[in-house]
Structure 1
Amino acid sequence: MKISTTEARDILPELVSKAEQGQTIHFTRYGQEKAVLISQERYDRLTRAMFTSNEETA
């Protein structure tokens, strides 16, 4: 899902709920993607995967 930062201000709680359900929210400013909202669970998995990958290559 893509949404402008201006639109997101009005529905932030709804966007957080969507992220919790597994949806990725892309925030745009002036038509360009600037940030991403994902669930805490997904963030934790990605972070663990990055650290695991770094440890394997060290």
Structure 2
Amino acid sequence: CGHRRGYSSRIVGGNMSLLSQWPWQASLQFQGYHLCGGSVITPLWIITAAHCVY
């Protein structure tokens, strides 16, 4: 009781998307692992949550 059986980074009922399906979305990665998401707001700027980079 009170313990999860395992960790999954998948969204329940989610589907895989094509690489170009959501062109305004960004994946902030470190050493090849996804850390946080972001949104492209100009060709040179991506906005994300502060806890992702600080």
TM-score tier after normalising by the smaller chain length: under 0.3
Higher relative contact order (CA 8 A, sep 6+): 1
> Given the two structures, how large is their TM-score scaled by the length of structure 2?
0.20
Kindly indicate which of the two structures has a greater share of residues assigned to strand: 2
